[in-house]
Amino acid sequence: MEVNGTADILSSAFLAVEYVDSFLPGNPLQEPLKHAWNHMLQNYSKFQIATWGSLIVHELIYFLFCLPGFIFQFLPFMQKYKIQPDKPETWEKQWKCCKMLLFNHFCIQLPLICGTYYFTEFFSIPYDWDSMPRWSFILAQCFGCAVIEDTWHYFLHRALHHRRIYKYIHKVHHDFTAPFGMQAEYAHPAETVILGAGFFIGIMVFCNHMILLWAWVAFRLLETIDVHSGYDIPLNPLHLIPFYAGARFHDFHHMNFVGNYGSTFTWWDRLFNTDSQFKKHYTQHKAVKSD
């Protein structure tokens, strides 16, 4: 995608949320949120907020978003939405995944999170309530972060699939050919750093308040857990996002190992035709389903 095309998408996102925001009444949650935010600022230092606050946000949101997918495996009526029904989750797989997650979260990601305070100080990112942007602006910034991260992820992810290095790093993430939500951050420590670096690029470009960092964490975790869920839920609000990849798109990547390298959007795969096998597979799937 050309630079001008990406800029047009970002501009459209900003205009859309500004338009919606102009018609919405005052948020009834604003005062309680303001009180809670100021209470946090009064009782904790910036270092504690940036470090331990970010860790709590990450862990709480990650496992909270994983919970629905975990419950789905026990609900028979949800199995019709499972993309690979012949490969159910097992306790062994989930425990193996959980152990790797805990290692990555506390031995790899926590040291990176510890640098959050110094990052915000270096870029003079404010924490105060009065400097907090409107929710519509935050949503547009998250979309911009997603565009940047998706570009980084596509090219680095595709490089990690190169036959000379695949078995050393990215093969770990492909231990499961039928993904499930908790597996979203199941990866080799080197991959956690390499692909995770894309998360911070958008923050460096857009971040003008501490709240954006947490909002972007929430959005990115929601998206990556959704595409790894293994379930194609029809009433999924994320499908309203233009060019959103979704669970079926990424599930094919785990099943096929080749193609569908994008993390959030489909445009890079369309541009480089790395979704050709998926399109053929999906066409056959729809034909079988129709029959």
Kindly report, residue by residue over 167-190, the tens digit of the pLDDT. Answer: 999 999 999 899 999 999 999 999
Among 148-152, 162-166, 278-282, name the one with the lowest average pLDDT.
Answer: 278-282
Give yes or no for a contact between 135 and 27, defined as CB atoms under 8 angstroms apart: yes
For residue range 80-133, list pLDDT tens digits in order. Answer: 999 999 898 889 999 999 999 999 999 999 999 999 999 999 989 999 999 999
pLDDT of amino acid 160: 97
Give per-residue burial for 252-281: e unless 16+ CB within 10 Å, then b. Answer: bbbbeeebbbbbbbbbbbeeeebbeebeeb
Residue with the bigger pLDDT between 141 and 281: it is 141
Question: Domain boundaries in the chain?
Answer: 3-20+34-233
pLDDT of amino acid 207: 85
What's this model's pTM, rounded to 2 decimal places? 0.86
Spatial distance between the Cα atoms of 119 and 161, rounded to a whole number of angstroms:
31
pLDDT of amino acid 230: 93
For residue range 47-76, list pLDDT tens digits in order. Answer: 999 999 999 999 999 999 999 999 999 999
Give per-residue burial for 5-40: e unless 16+ CB within 10 Å, then b. Answer: eeeebbeebbeebeeeeeeeeeeeeeeeeeeebeee
Residue 229 has pLDDT above 60, yes or no: yes
Rounded to the nearest 5°, which phi and psi values hold at 82? -70, 130
Rounded to the nearest 5°, which phi and psi values hold at 199? -60, -35
Q: Tokens 């595709």: give the residue.
A: 158
pLDDT of amino acid 63: 95
Give yes or no for a contact between 177 and 87, defined as CB atoms under 8 angstroms apart: yes
Residue 34 has pLDDT above 50, yes or no: yes
pLDDT of amino acid 3: 45
What sign does the dihedral 234-240-241-242 (CA atoms) show?
Answer: positive
Give yes or no for a contact between 198 and 153, defined as CB atoms under 8 angstroms apart: yes
Q: Which residues, in sequence order, are bridge partners of residue 231?
A: 82
pLDDT of amino acid 201: 93
User: Which tokens sit at 287?
Assistant: 């034909």
pLDDT of amino acid 23: 44
Give the CB-side neighbour count of residue 230, counting CA atoms within 13 A: 26
pLDDT of amino acid 15: 55
Give yes or no for a contact between 224 and 185, defined as CB atoms under 8 angstroms apart: yes
Kindly report the average pLDDT of the chain as a whole number: 89
Rounded to the nearest 5°, which phi and psi values hold at 273? 60, 30
Confidence of residue 41 (pLDDT cuts 50, 70, 90): very high
pLDDT of amino acid 25: 47
Among 12-26, 46-60, 94-108, 240-254, name the one with the lowest average pLDDT.
Answer: 12-26
User: Which tokens sit at 251?
Assistant: 């599930």
For residue range 145-157, list pLDDT tens digits in order. Answer: 999 999 999 999 9
Residue 19 has pLDDT above 90, yes or no: no
